[in-house]
Amino acid sequence: MGGIPYVLAGPTAAAGFLFGYPLKAGSDAVKVLWVVSTPRNNAPLEIQAHPSGSSEPVVQESRPADSGPGEIYPDGVPVPTASCWHFSLQWATGHAELDLLYST
């Protein structure tokens, strides 16, 4: 019996539920439901990602606070290359960082 794969991020607690796992670079099928632990105060989730150990390329996205219930942001950030990608998440009352592995 399998569940939905997920990741945890900090220092402010956030979780990402991974749909379309394993994560594939360049795929529009990768979907992440971000859940943040502090109020989003109707502000967007700002996402910035880059390969771990490198500052480029950078993928940026802004997701509006228009989903519910709770403090959630649906997302589908496509990354261009297979690698371990470092994600920085910023919302009204918190921020979190994590790494996600994308394959070909």
Domain total of the chain: 1
Three-state secondary-structure class, residue 21: coil
Note whether residue 38 is domain-resident: yes
Instruction: Evaluate whether residue 32 is within a structural domain.
Output: yes
Domain that holds residue 18: 6-45+59-102
Check pLDDT > 60 for residue 90.
yes
Query: Does residue 93 register a pLDDT over 70?
Result: yes
List the structure tokens of 77.
């950030």
Any domain includes 52: no
Neighbours of 39 (CB within 10 A): 13
Token pair recorded at residue 60? 């940026």
- CB count within 10 Å of CB 96 equals 22
Convert the pLDDT of each residue in 26-40 to its tens digit: 998 999 999 999 999
The answer to whether residue 51 sits within a structural domain is no
Q: State residue 2's pLDDT score.
A: 73
Distance CA 73, CA 62 (A): 10
Q: What is the pLDDT of residue 77?
A: 84
Asked if residue 54 belongs to a domain, the reply is no
Q: What is the pLDDT of residues 39-87, one digit of tens each?
A: 999 999 999 999 999 999 999 999 999 999 999 999 988 899 999 999 9
- Pairwise CA distance, residues 40 & 98, whole Å: 19
- DSSP class of residue 20 equals S
The string of pLDDT tens digits covering residues 16-27 is: 999 989 999 999
Residue 1 lies in a domain: no
The answer to whether residue 92 is domain-embedded is yes
